[in-house]
Structure 1
Amino acid sequence: MSLKALGAKIFARNVKRKMDKWSSRPRETQLRVLRELVADARNTSFGQDHHFDQIGSPTDFSNRVPIRDYEALRTYVDRMVEGEADVLWPGRPLYYAKTSGTTSGAKYIPISKQSMPYHIKAARNAILSYVAETGNTDFVDGKMIFLQGSPEMTTKNGVQLGRLSGIVAHYVPGYLQRNRMPSWETNCISDWEEKVDAIVEETKVEDMRVISGIPSWIQMYFERLIDSTGKQVGELFPRFSLFIYGGVNYEPYRKKLEGLIGRSVDSIELYPASEGFFAFQDSQKDKGMLLQLDAGIFYEFIPADKFFEQDPPRYPVYEVQTGVNYVMIISTNAGLWGYNLGDTVMFTSTKPYRVVVTGRIKHFISAFGEHVIGKEVETAMELAQKEFDCVVSEFTVAPQVTPSADELPYHEWLIEWESSPQNPAQLAAFLDQQMQHQNAYYFDLIQGAILQPLKITDIPKDGFNNFMKSQGKLGGQNKIPRLSNDRKIANQILNSDG
């Protein structure tokens, strides 16, 4: 065992003890975080506008700080971007993470001097948790690749601006710099396809042991490795043993990626965002991700089925229940207050608090009151691939509200196959049965002949990539929405296929 591997094991045990301490005291930890956040921001513009000096409990906080999304918080953010200090958080941000807005162009998410270390610490602790549990340290002596956005940044009124993954690239620990790939020059390539080809050339001769990125883009990287070398990824990289991912559910991609690798490898799921690093998978025995309660973030949860009510209930983490779909609300040490991230989560455990991401509160299908969510369609697809021995490259779901005459409406599943089923009709029926089993509203609509069973539309190879390219969103942290409540995306995909 190398000195680096031995050091990793010792470090991992120490970190695990510290994590166990705060995760076993959720109420105490979160109340302390809230007190510190409110105290630190008391004299900011936001703190004065919302009377932070009178907040002493989570109830006081929820009474004084309404739920806001980015657009509702934008007047404060715009003041910060223009150079004003002490607006949402003391001083000025360390960075702005630039993300794509869905309604009004770019969004500028503040990252403070206090919040930045937690982005790095959580990613580090995810790997150390894996080491502490499995004892596997072989990967620390090999090469690691993090498929991410460009680290190049610009400056806006004295504050550096870039993509989160690019910002984080500046904080790779020194002891990993010699192991990390791709090179700085390759990472700065802006064209995604050109960048992937350059990464293939750099890595195909290396001893790759850890590979990290969004599954859909790792799939592209693997396919191009195979095209370039004629070898499966597992043969090319015989000591590749750990896949780290985030951004989307891995399960719909697992069969495809394991086919490209030629075997299964351990995986760690992460839940990072520009707004904060919220959770990571801390155990190979549980798919849930450990919620980071001691990371400068105060969490609140609103039951998704009550989110659009006039005054929905807001629960601190120590009052949530397992198996309930919640909208996650965050308040952070970067100055986001009562912030609706848009994500929905479900707790798999409360000792400790572990979550799975179930979708987006805006990404659902409820054209007829069915409120189908991302977790349901992904679970159905995962089961269908196993049942029919087929492999899906990508898919999305949309309602067809106005079908041809004398035909009931239905859900249309747009699927790009890597390996198509022998009997598509049987697979469609299976998918529909799984959806009825998971969603009682969908069951009632099918049984009541309001909807007809779902239909599958085959998308040609590279159809989804062509769509993303047409939108200027190929690569990086961009991903296909798993489902939509209208046909905008579905129609664009169909049109991009010609």
Structure 2
Amino acid sequence: MEVLNTFMTWIFRNRLGQIENFMEHPIDVQREIFFELIKTAKKTDFGKKFHFQEIRSYADFARQVPIHDYEQMKPYIDRCMSGEQNVIWPTEITWFSKSSGTTGSRSKFIPVSPETLEECHFKGGKDMLSLYVRNYPDTKLFSGKSLTIGGSYQVNPLDGTKNSFYGDVSAVIMQNLPMWVQFARTPSLEVALMSEWESKIERMAIETMQENVSSIAGVPTWAIVLIKRIMEIKGADNILQVWPNLEVFFHGAVAFGPYRQLFEELIPSPRMHYMETYNASEGFFGIQDQADSEDLLLMLDYGIFYEFIPMEEWESDDPKVLPLQEIELGKNYAMLISTNAGLWRYKIGDTVKFTSIRPYRFRISGRTKHFINAFGEEVIVENAEKAIELACAATNSTIVNFTAAPVYFEGVSGKGAHEWIIEFETAPEDREEFISLLDNNLRDLNSDYDAKRYKDMALSAPRVHFAESGLFESWLRSKGKLGGQNKIPRLSNNRDFVEELLKMRN
């Protein structure tokens, strides 16, 4: 295995020259990507509608092609899912990445073209390894196997050919990986793509604890659940007693900070590394390229053209939109993407702040809407408001206000949850019934929340505090924010508001 490790390390170092090229010439690379996208898609239905053949500059593109959110792209995507081709992208699209939905949809279905797989997702995985090898040249990563924790996929019932599929982006990628990569990973594809999570975790634990695992890739939530189960089976005090050569966790999807201490308890090694990636259903956007910084390098040659809306312009009917060369350091921007799968000027819902321009590095600063995404559940305000509305209707109750935040994993044996504070005008007679309805409604509305709540494996039932009358008004008054448009955010990915309100109740 030592010879293989040396060879693979050399292979991945070779990509570094291309990475350095877009770091040194970012605008030139983005310009090439832009014109290639326009040229390739000009004969699609979308390209004809918006006269791509007449686009000669970015200014033409910005003037002719409107900004799209998912609901505006959905009619085109629905046609693709029904089996139509050449709608938004010319090559055949038979895969769709499924993620949590918008106001009108329980789930979003994002097209994944062959180019997106090869030039974006696969390339991102290779670059992640290339940058890791550069940062840690003495790595023994390739002497062991990579444990990959992914989702599942299924046949797309809307396409009568039965040759179209949708699933979690991790499952889409995993199912399409080349054979040499399948050889280097664990567990078996059959187990990795199981849909029933309780059986899946058990099977993964049994398979992977027999392997020499040197790296883990996935969402922190499920990695913790799996590691705990393996430790339980083996009677281990920490996972290094099972995998002594484990050296890195490649993570993404949620903020890692709240999980770091728990991972250090589970993997007590000063030689353990953590590397963040920004890989979403829509594309692979960033990689933590420096060992001593949590900033992400914006990956500019993956077939994605970037634009940015300053957050102060977000609510505008005609927002100012900036290409990459016009962004400023330290400002909060919503990101727009045009991709080699046919998303055009698409709002992905994430916000970023740039920390460097040469090269372009950034940090994910949040979402364009209030949300909770501590465990990969992606609960947005619309989900929460609808779930409460339905629970109130069923229990003849009415609310004044509410807020919710995550409860992060509490120690090695603890589980995560959502904690709610709800003030009622008319309280429900049966509080437990209300809590159960709130939880079940959220599961119906949001597929990612439902997956995390399955048998309490990653998320326990919500913790709900029934607040006394006037609590929210008192908090606003204490902050000098009473009246006008001031309000407490309905959802937050940190516990600041919840903790302050709980202190006021004591």
Q: Is the 8 A contact 1:152 1:166 kept in 2?
A: no
Using the alignment, how far apart are the partners of 2:30 and 2:489 within structure 1? 35
**2:275 corresponding residue in structure 1:** 268
1:9-408 correspondence runs (5 A): 9-102=9-102, 103-117=104-118, 118-150=120-152, 153-154=155-156, 156-158=159-161, 159-163=163-167, 164-231=169-236, 232-264=238-270, 265-363=272-370
Give the count of matched residue pairs: 415
Report how far residue 3 of structure 1 moved. 2.5
Q: 1:253 is matched by which residue type in structure 2?
A: Y
Report how far residue 67 of structure 1 moved. 1.1
Structure 1 residues 303 and 15, CA gap change in structure 2 (3 angstroms): same
Using the alignment, how far apart are the partners of 1:347 and 1:7 within structure 2? 36
Using the alignment, how far apart are the partners of 1:10 and 1:414 within structure 2? 43
Q: Is the 8 A contact 1:152 1:188 kept in 2?
A: no
After alignment, is 159-168 or 138-147 more displaced?
Answer: 159-168
Report how far residue 33 of structure 1 moved. 0.8
Q: 2:117 is matched by which residue type in structure 1?
A: M
SS at match of 2:275: strand
Deviation per residue, 1:199-219 (Å, 9 max, x gap): 111122321110111011111
> Of 438, 442, 451, which aligns to 1:474?
451
SS at match of 2:289: coil
Deviation per residue, 1:322-369 (Å, 9 max, x gap): 2111100000111100100111111121111112212211126xxxxx
Using the alignment, how far apart are the partners of 1:183 and 1:277 within structure 2? 24
Structure 1 residues 6 and 256, CA gap change in structure 2 (3 angstroms): same
Using the alignment, how far apart are the partners of 1:193 and 1:69 within structure 2? 35
After alignment, is 61-70 or 279-288 more displaced?
Answer: 279-288
Structure 1 unaligned residues grouped into runs of 5+: 365-372, 379-391, 401-407, 421-463, 491-498
Percent identity reads: 33
Structure 1 residues 190 and 409, CA gap change in structure 2 (3 angstroms): closer
Using the alignment, how far apart are the partners of 1:395 and 1:34 within structure 2? 30
Report how far residue 489 of structure 1 moved. 12
Structure 1 residues 167 and 274, CA gap change in structure 2 (3 angstroms): same
Structure 1 residues 359 and 7, CA gap change in structure 2 (3 angstroms): same
Using the alignment, how far apart are the partners of 1:80 and 1:17 within structure 2? 37
Using the alignment, how far apart are the partners of 2:64 and 2:327 within structure 1? 21
Using the alignment, how far apart are the partners of 1:485 and 1:204 within structure 2? 43
**1:415 corresponding residue in structure 2:** 407
SS at match of 1:114: helix
Using the alignment, how far apart are the partners of 1:8 and 1:188 within structure 2? 26
Structure 1 residues 157 and 100, CA gap change in structure 2 (3 angstroms): farther
Structure 1 residues 308 and 71, CA gap change in structure 2 (3 angstroms): same
TM-score (norm 2): 0.74
Q: Is the 8 A contact 2:150 2:192 kept in 1?
A: yes
Using the alignment, how far apart are the partners of 1:37 and 1:413 within structure 2? 40
Structure 1 residues 100 and 88, CA gap change in structure 2 (3 angstroms): same
Q: 1:119 is matched by which residue type in structure 2?
A: H
Q: 2:307 is matched by which residue type in structure 1?
A: E
SS at match of 2:451: coil
SS at match of 2:341: coil
Deviation per residue, 1:358-391 (Å, 9 max, x gap): 2211126xxxxxxxx98xxx9xxxxxxxxxxxxx
Q: 1:41 is matched by which residue type in structure 2?
A: A
SS at match of 1:330: strand
Q: 1:115 is matched by which residue type in structure 2?
A: T
TM-score (norm 1): 0.75
Report how far residue 296 of structure 1 moved. 0.8
Deviation per residue, 1:278-318 (Å, 9 max, x gap): 11122212211211211111000111222111211111112
SS at match of 1:115: helix
Structure 1 residues 304 and 84, CA gap change in structure 2 (3 angstroms): same
RMSD, aligned CA: 3.6
Using the alignment, how far apart are the partners of 2:214 and 2:358 within structure 1? 32
SS at match of 1:189: coil
Structure 1 residues 409 and 42, CA gap change in structure 2 (3 angstroms): closer
After alignment, is 75-84 or 344-353 more displaced?
Answer: 75-84
SS at match of 2:42: coil
SS at match of 2:14: helix
Q: 1:126 is matched by which residue type in structure 2?
A: M
Q: Is the 8 A contact 1:246 1:269 kept in 2?
A: yes
Q: Is the 8 A contact 2:41 2:90 kept in 1?
A: yes
Q: Is the 8 A contact 1:397 1:411 kept in 2?
A: no
Using the alignment, how far apart are the partners of 2:350 and 2:356 within structure 1? 18
Q: 1:474 is matched by which residue type in structure 2?
A: A
Q: Is the 8 A contact 2:12 2:126 kept in 1?
A: no
Q: 1:21 is matched by which residue type in structure 2?
A: N
Structure 1 residues 98 and 48, CA gap change in structure 2 (3 angstroms): same
Structure 2 unaligned residues grouped into runs of 5+: 386-399, 413-437, 463-487, 495-506
Report how far residue 114 of structure 1 moved. 2.0
Q: Is the 8 A contact 1:115 1:296 kept in 2?
A: yes
Q: Is the 8 A contact 1:8 1:131 kept in 2?
A: no
Report how far residue 130 of structure 1 moved. 0.7
Using the alignment, how far apart are the partners of 1:40 and 1:396 within structure 2? 36
SS at match of 2:114: coil
**2:434 corresponding residue in structure 1:** none
Q: 2:108 is matched by which residue type in structure 1?
A: K
Using the alignment, how far apart are the partners of 1:467 and 1:259 within structure 2? 35
